[in-house]
Chain A
């Protein structure tokens, strides 16, 4: 591990390869013995960077406890670059049915399958994909936390506006809808909103759940 000083305080860059216990021991060692002198004095803010280590809440608390052992060190943040673990307690997929009417909004952190219509003035906002089994006449925002790979599919795609990540697009000037369209989907291609038939979804956004044939 390394300790860097910035004008905001100290940054603890922790090794992300070793065992967690090992890491904790080293942290304790540095704070209590080797770096004792430079870590005393007035209140110092500490930002902990875990690298690619995915730490549980208990592990984060353990790190906090060790650093707090020095009264003048205040932990401001503990950041990990690791992706969310798959066993996350939050549901990432939801099926919902009904009508989203004008003035109503459905938000969800994950991928949503909405069975029913979304009327003009109604909106769906999700961090993942949005699938509408019905008419999408209102607004849909997929990948709302910035995921540009998110898609929006609808049995009847006639939205007032589509958003994926931070791209906003509106019909009809920007994309061509076919009048006799069957189910379609919207995706981003180099920052531009594109519409295509649903059969092409697996080619454009290949994923782990694709059916490959037997």
Chain B
């Protein structure tokens, strides 16, 4: 029996889809059988980020309305054998499905997969209720901005009312260590103090993320990017490993990096 994790944020544009794609792929990298579910009906993006857009035949609404079997709508990833995704419909809207229908579908998926990562749409209306309906756990994504933290807080409040969901975990995305150091950006500690939930990971702002998303490839497959390491760490923490938070500031020069490479500090 697998575990369903919903990735949500309230505010749009903070990186829910990127996080879903990368955390899901990282779990697959670690040998888990993973299914990504896009519940953003009408504004699907996950397929684009995963580079699977051109393989879609059936979608989530087709499954719910009985036009195809669940297995027919699942798309196998082009890089990993154990990674699948279920795309959202692009022509309908959030009212095309009901929370109960998503719940039933997730229950079915949990029989075949270790992890089901549910990408939630922005907002707190029907789309949100659909996405959280089948989830056992929740990841709240925020960025170090007041507006994003405010919305994350609102969403945490709503998630805490869902009886089947454990206490949500936090990912702070798009962190710029230098701005934080100068006090121009909300501090990680400040965000955690307000939201008062466990921190699952901190992902630095990284141009690789944008580049690889445009190429239809999750950053996490590229081991050079700092964001990639952050996502892999998050996946390991989901599996229960204790991984320390990544050192965000890279103050060391070339010499320092060489020393680090040889394990000299």
Q: Which A residues have a C-beta under 8 Å from some C-beta of B?
A: 99, 101-104, 117, 119-122, 135, 137
Which B residues touch A104, using CB under 8 A?
Answer: 157
> Is the C-beta of B194 less than 8 angstroms from some C-beta in chain A?
yes
- Type the 1/0 row for B191-212, where 1 means its CB is closer than 8 Å to any CB of A: 0011110000000000000000
Structural contact, A121 and B196, CB atoms closer than 8 A: no
Structural contact, B157 and A103, CB atoms closer than 8 A: yes
Q: Which B residues have a C-beta under 8 Å from some C-beta of A?
A: 146, 150-151, 153-154, 156-158, 160, 193-196
CA distance A121 to B148 in the complex (A): 13
Which B residues touch A137, using CB under 8 A?
Answer: 194
24 residue pairs A–B, Cβ–Cβ below 8 Å? A99-B196, A101-B153, A101-B154, A101-B156, A101-B160, A102-B150, A102-B151, A102-B153, A102-B154, A102-B157, A103-B154, A103-B157, A103-B158, A104-B157, A117-B196, A119-B153, A119-B194, A119-B195, A120-B153, A120-B194, A121-B150, A121-B153, A122-B153, A137-B194
The tally of CB-CB contacts under 8 A between chains A and B is 30
Partner of B157, one of A101, A117, A120, A135: A101
Other than the given A101-B157, A103-B158, 5 more pairs (CB < 8 A) read A102-B153, A103-B154, A120-B146, A122-B153, A137-B194
Which B residues touch A121, using CB under 8 A?
Answer: 150, 153-154
Instruction: Return the 6 tightest CB-CB contacts between A and B, nearest first.
Output: A101-B157, A102-B154, A102-B153, A103-B154, A101-B153, A119-B153
CA distance A137 to B196 in the complex (A): 13
- Smallest Cβ-Cβ distance to B193: which chain A residue: A135
Interface residue SS majority, chain A = loop
Distance of B19 from chain A, by nearest CB (Å)? 21
Which A residues touch B154, using CB under 8 A?
Answer: 101-103, 121
- Smallest Cβ-Cβ distance to A104: which chain B residue: B157
CA distance A121 to B194 in the complex (A): 12
CA distance A122 to B160 in the complex (A): 15
Distance of B159 from chain A, by nearest CB (Å)? 10
Which A residues touch B153, using CB under 8 A?
Answer: 101-102, 119-122
Distance of A82 from chain B, by nearest CB (Å)? 41
CA distance A137 to B146 in the complex (A): 13
CA distance A101 to B161 in the complex (A): 12
Most buried by A among B146, B154, B156: B154
Distance of B155 from chain A, by nearest CB (Å)? 9
- Smallest Cβ-Cβ distance to A137: which chain B residue: B194
Which B residues touch A99, using CB under 8 A?
Answer: 196
Which B residues touch A102, using CB under 8 A?
Answer: 150-151, 153-154, 157
CA distance A122 to B196 in the complex (A): 14
CA distance A102 to B146 in the complex (A): 12
Which A residues touch B196, using CB under 8 A?
Answer: 99, 117
Which B residues touch A120, using CB under 8 A?
Answer: 146, 150, 153, 194
- Smallest Cβ-Cβ distance to A99: which chain B residue: B196
- Smallest Cβ-Cβ distance to B158: which chain A residue: A103
Distance of A105 from chain B, by nearest CB (Å)? 11
CA distance A117 to B158 in the complex (A): 17
Which A residues touch B193, using CB under 8 A?
Answer: 135
CA distance A137 to B190 in the complex (A): 12
Distance of B191 from chain A, by nearest CB (Å)? 11
Distance of A57 from chain B, by nearest CB (Å)? 37
CA distance A123 to B153 in the complex (A): 13
Which B residues touch A101, using CB under 8 A?
Answer: 153-154, 156-157, 160
Distance of A110 from chain B, by nearest CB (Å)? 24
Distance of B217 from chain A, by nearest CB (Å)? 35
- Smallest Cβ-Cβ distance to A103: which chain B residue: B154
- Smallest Cβ-Cβ distance to B157: which chain A residue: A101
Distance of B173 from chain A, by nearest CB (Å)? 19
CA distance A60 to B56 in the complex (A): 73
Which B residues touch A135, using CB under 8 A?
Answer: 193
CA distance A120 to B153 in the complex (A): 9
CA distance A164 to B109 in the complex (A): 53
- Smallest Cβ-Cβ distance to B197: which chain A residue: A99
Which A residues touch B160, using CB under 8 A?
Answer: 101
Distance of A149 from chain B, by nearest CB (Å)? 31
